[in-house]
Amino acid sequence: MADVLVAEDIRKSYGDATALSGVSLSVGEGEVFALIGPNGAGKTTLVRALTGTTEPDSGSASVFGTAPDEADRQRLGLLPQSFDPPERLTARELVEYYAGLYDEARDPEEVLSEVGLDGDDSTWYENLSGGQQRRTCVGTTLVNDPDVLFLDEPTTGIDPGGRRALWSLIEELAERGTTVFLTTHYMEEAERLADRVGLLADGELAAVGTPSDLVAEYGGRTRVVVETDSDEATPAEATDALAGTGFEVETGDGRVTIGGVEPEDIGEVVRALNDAGVAYEALTWKQPDLEDAFLRLTGRSVVGGAGGGAGAVGGESDVEGEETDGASAGDTAVAGGER
Amino acid sequence: MSATGRVRAEASAAWRSFARRRTAVFFTFFFPVILILIFAVLVQTNPGGGGLFAQPPGYYLPGYLAVVVLFTPLSRVGSEVARHREGNRFEKLATTPLSRSEWLLAHTLVNVAIIGLAGLLILGLMALVTGTATLALGVGNLALVAVFVAFAVALFCGLGAVLGGLADSQDGVIAASNTIALPLLFLSDTFISSDMLPAWFRPAMNLSPLTYFARGVRGLTYQPPGNEVETLATAFGQTWEFQLGVLVALTLVFFAAGAYAIPRTD
C-alpha cells in the first residue's frame, strides 16, 4: 500500500504555544486514519500542515509525494473544523457552487442524494438543522470525488442519528477506496471507522496502531466500576469486602474500580459486596477501549481533563459536556444494585 | 472547468449571498438616494457664492459617484474577507483550484454590478433633481464613465482585500475602511475643489487614487455654463485619458496587492 500522506517531524508553534512537537506519520492509499486527541492537542494544525494551509516551523509534509500546496487539488477534499459556508445558499446551491470550482465535478444531484439531502430545494443553509448543515458541508467535499479526504471533526455538534448517518457515508467512501484522514475526539467514531488510529496529546503523537492493537497494548484489563452512594465510608467498606477476592481494587471519586474482572467473575464481586452490606447505586462491567489506552499513554482523558494517570487500574474517563452515543459496546451496566 | 467557470461559480454564489440580504440590498441603494436628497435637494449648490457647493450641480457628479465607488467595495470586500476567514472558507478554498486572484475578480465583478446599478440610480436622480444643463451625458461619455467606475471599483476591492487580510475581524475592517475612506473622499477633488485647500497640500491630492477617478469623470461629464467642455477636459493639466491611464495602472497594483493579501494559510 503506497503512502499517500506523509508527515515527517513536523513542528509548529504559535507564539509560546506549541501546537506540534515533531509529529511523524504516514497514511496509505485507501486507508482510513483517525487522529484522536482533546481540544488543543494539535489535530487541526496537523490537518493544515498536510493540506498546505499552514507552514510548519520545521519538518515536512507531502501528499501524493509532493508538497501539499503543490498537490493536485482535483484529488483533494477538505472539511475544515468549524466550517461556515455562505449561509444564504441552499444545500443544492452550495454543492453546485463548490462543484463549479473543479475541472471535473460529480453531478450535484448524486452528491446530495449521497448525503441524504436531495429532498429540499428551498431551505437556506442557515435554516438547516445542525446535522443537515454538517452533511451539506461533507457534500461540498465530495463534489470532486477526491482520492484523499480530510475531515476535521466531521461529527462534532450533531446528534447521534446524524453521526451514524455520516459514519455510514464515510464507510461507503472507504469501501470505494478513498483515503480518509479523520480527526475526532469521539472514541467510538475512531473505533468504528479507522483502520489505524493516532493518539495525539499536547502536540505529540503518543502511539499509532490499529484500534484493537492499541487497546490490547495500552487499554489495561476488563474491570467492574462500582458507583457508591455519598457516604464517604462506603468505598472503604467495599474495599474491605473485596479484599478476599484477589482482584485489584482502587477507590476514588466515590467509585470503586475492581480490575481484572471477567464476565464470569461479576457474580462473585456482586456477592462479596452484598454479603458485606455495601450500598451502591450502579455497577458497570467495562472492557478496555481507546479512551483507556489514551488515558494510560497520556495521563489525561480525550474529552475531559486529567484522568487517573498511567497505571490506574480503572482509568475511567471523566466524560462531561459532550453528547455521547450511549454506552460503548463493551459496557454492561447493572443498575439498582443498592439493597 | 476553466478559470472563467471558477470565477462564474464564485461570483454567482457571492451575488446570491448579497441579493438575499434584504437589509444590505436596501441600504446599498438607499445610500446614493439619501446622498442626492441631502446634497442636491436640501443643501443645493450656490454657483459663484463661495464656500462649499459653490460650483454648478454637474460639478458634483464625480463626488456622488465617488461615495459609492469608494465606500461600498472597501467595506463589502473587506468584510467578506473577514467573514471568509472567520468561517474557515479560505482554508477550504485553498484545497480547490480557485486561485486568490480569481476569488478577488469574482467579488470585484459582483461589486461592479452593484455599484453600476447604484451609479445609474445616482445619474437618474441627478437628472431628475438638478437637471442636465451642466452635464454632458452622451452615450460615449457614459460608456467611458462606466469604464472609470469599473476600474475604480476594482481598485477599492483590492484595497478592501488588503484591509480584510490585515484586520482580525469584521469590526476591524469596518473601522479601518471608514478611517481610510473619509479623508480620501474629501481630499480627492470630489466635493472640495483643490483651490479650497492650502497650496502646500494640493500635491498630496495626487496621491489619492480617487483623485484620478473624480477628475477623469468630471472631464467627461461636467459641462459648465458657457459650454467650455473642451477647456475643462484639460483644466487640470491632463486629459481624461491621462486620468484613466493612471487609474488603470493603480488598479493593477491594488488588485495584485489585494489578491496577495487574501489569506491562504493561518
Q: What is the pLDDT of residues A103-148, one digit of tens each?
A: 899 999 999 998 888 877 789 999 998 888 988 999 999 999 999 9
Note whether residue B242 is domain-resident.
yes
The pLDDT value given to residue A192 = 93
Give the range of the structural domain holding residue B118, as residue numbers without chain letter.
3-261
Which cell numbers in the block locate residue A119?
429532498
Per-residue pLDDT tens for B94-145? Answer: 999 999 999 999 999 999 999 999 999 999 988 888 777 777 878 888 999 9
Nine-digit cell string for A1: 500500500
| CA torsion angle B220 B224 B230 B235 (round to 10) | -80
Chain B residue whose CA is closest to A14: B266
Report the number of distinct structural domains present in chain B.
1
Residues facing A78 on adjacent strands: A150
Give residue limits of the domains in chain A.
3-202, 220-335
Q: Which residues of A touch B88 (CB under 8 A)?
A: 80-84
**Angstrom distance (rounded) from CA B167 to CA B183:** 19
Count of beta carbons in the 10 Å neighbourhood of residue B264: 15
- Given a contact cutoff of 8 angstroms between Cβ atoms, the answer to whether A255 and A282 are in contact is no
Residues B11-33, mean pLDDT to the nearest whole number = 91
CA-based nearest distance B167→chain A, Å: 18
Q: How many helices (H) and strands (E) does chain B have?
A: 11, 0
Give the pTM.
0.83
Over the stretch A227-275, which tens digit does the pLDDT of each residue have? 876 566 667 777 888 877 888 888 877 788 888 888 888 888 888 888 8
Q: Which of B88, B264, B266 sits opposite A82 (nearest CB)?
A: B88
d(CA A299, CA A309): 4
The verdict on a CB contact (< 8 Å) between A100 and B8 is: yes
How far is the CA of A104 from the CAs of A61, A69, A138, A145, A229, in angstroms? 26, 20, 18, 9, 63
Cβ distance A83 to B97 less than 8 Å, yes or no, reads no
pLDDT at B168: 79
What confidence tens digit (pLDDT) does each residue in B183-192 have? Answer: 999 899 888 8
Out of A226-235, A289-298, B7-16, B214-223, pick the least confident.
A226-235
pLDDT value at residue B50: 62
Could you say which architecture CATH assigns to the domain A220-335? Answer: 2-Layer Sandwich (3.30)
pLDDT score recorded for residue A329: 38
* Farthest-apart Cα atoms in chain A, separation: 73
Report yes or no: B131 at the A interface, CB cutoff 8 Å: no
CA distance A222 to A242: 16
| Region of residue A42 (phi > 0: left; psi between -120 and 50: alpha; otherwise: beta) | left
Model pLDDT, residue B14? 96
DSSP secondary structure letter of residue A90: B
- Taking the C-alpha atoms of residue A58 and residue A71, their distance in angstroms, rounded to an integer, is 19
Per-residue confidence at A333, pLDDT binned at 50, 70, 90?
very low
Distance CA B221, CA B235 (A): 13
For the domain bounded by A3-202, which CATH number is listed?
Answer: 3.40.50.300
- Stretch A142-168: mean pLDDT: 90
In a domain, B205, yes or no: yes
pLDDT at position A306 is 41
Mutate to test the interface with B, among A53, A127, A149, A151 (most CBs of B within 10 A): A53
Are A102 and B87 in contact (CB < 8 Å)? no
| Nearest beta carbon to residue B5 from set A51, A100, A144 | A100
pLDDT band at B170 (very low <50, low <70, confident <90, very high): confident
pLDDT tens, A69-84?
899 999 999 999 989 9
Q: Please classify residue A106 by burial: count the beta carbons closer than 10 Å to its beta carbon, then call 0-12 exposed, 13-18 middle and 19+ buried.
A: middle
Question: According to the model, what pLDDT value does residue B164 have?
Answer: 93
Residues of A in contact with B265 (CB under 8 A): 48, 52-55
**Cβ-defined contact of A83 to B8 (cutoff 8 Å):** no
Cα Rg of chain B (Å, integer): 19
B103 closest CA partner among B266, B265, B262: B262
- Whole-number Å distance between alpha carbons of B136 and B134: 7
10 Å CB burial of residue B139 (0-12, 13-18, 19+) is exposed
Q: Answer yes or no: is B266 within a domain.
A: no
**For testing contact with chain A, the best of B21, B22, B85, B91 (most A CBs within 10 A):** B91
CB B81 within 8 A of CB B66: no
- The total number of residues shown for chain A amounts to 339
Q: Is the pLDDT of residue B156 over 90?
A: yes
- Residue contact B95–A85, C-beta within 8 A: no
Reported as a single tens digit per residue, the pLDDT across A87-104 is 999 999 999 999 999 989
> How far is it, in rounded angstroms, from Cα A75 to Cα B97?
10
The owner of cell 481540544 is A39
Distance in Å, alpha carbon of A49 to nearest chain B alpha carbon? 10
Confidence label for A36 from pLDDT (cuts 50, 70 and 90): very high
Which residue on chain B is closest to A76 by alpha carbon? B95
What pLDDT is stored for residue A312 in this prediction?
30
User: Which pLDDT tens digit goes with each residue over B218-237?
Assistant: 988 888 776 555 444 454 55
Q: Mean pLDDT, chain A, as a whole number?
A: 83
The size of the A-B interface in CB pairs under 8 A is 96
Alpha helices in chain A (DSSP H): 43-51, 91-99, 108-114, 130-142, 160-175, 187-193, 211-218, 233-242, 266-275, 290-298
> Tens digit of pLDDT for each residue in B31-49?
888 888 888 777 776 666 6
Out of B6, B97, B264, whose CB is closest to A53?
A: B264
**Which cell numbers in the block locate residue A21?**
512537537
Q: Is the pLDDT of residue A149 over 90?
A: yes
Per-residue pLDDT at A121: 74
- Given this model, what pLDDT does residue A276 score? 81
Q: At A110, is the secondary structure helix, strand, or coil?
A: helix
Read off the pLDDT band of A310 (50, 70, 90). Answer: very low
Residues A312-331 have pLDDT tens digits of: 333 333 323 333 343 343 44
C-alpha cell at B176: 479601518
B86 touches chain A (CB under 8 A): yes
Closest Cβ opposite residue B17 in set A84, A86, A102: A86
Residues 81-110 of A with CB under 8 A from B: 81-89, 93-94, 96-105
